[in-house]
Amino acid sequence: MANADIIMVGPTETTLITELYNQVFAPKRDVAFFERRFKGRCSLLNLIAEVDHRPVGFLSGFELKPSTWFNWLVGVLPDFRRLGIASQLCEAEQAWARDHGYHDVRMECHNQHRAVLQMCIRQNFDIVGIRFDADRQNNLVIFEKEIGLHGDDDD
């Protein structure tokens, strides 16, 4: 288990998000792709995971609707996978979303990304649906987790 530093970054770090994305995912995207996706989004959040001051992962999300936060992307460099970094990014995101009044977090994952599917289950996300991704001609599993403002109280 790596103990990553999770840092919130602003829109000026879109280049870093793009660079990390291109080391994790294909096809490669340019900065303009992210700028278009982020434009007009409510409550955009970008997190960077650093190990020994080196950026090794990222998470980007935004408001899906007033009560629901959407985890759009989470990625970790190949040499740093299976060290708990994606979980740390998601936990930081969930804490931020709860502190900002969101009740649920939603995320989607391609069926072949087993490590992310397993992480979602470990983090107590529920599978709430499946949708077809026309760009990749593949199914996405839709996860949702209630984070609420009440914590773990049973009141």
- The residue extents of the domains of the chain are 5-146
Q: Is the pLDDT confidence value at 151 over 60?
A: no
Q: In what order do the strands lie in the sheet with 138-146?
A: 5-9, 45-51, 54-65, 68-76, 104-110, 138-146, 126-133
pLDDT by residue (tens digit) across 74-123? 999 999 999 999 999 999 999 999 999 999 999 999 988 899 999 999 99
Per DSSP, the three-state class of 67 is: coil
CATH code, residues 5-146: 3.40.630.30
pLDDT band for position 155 (50/70/90)?
Answer: very low
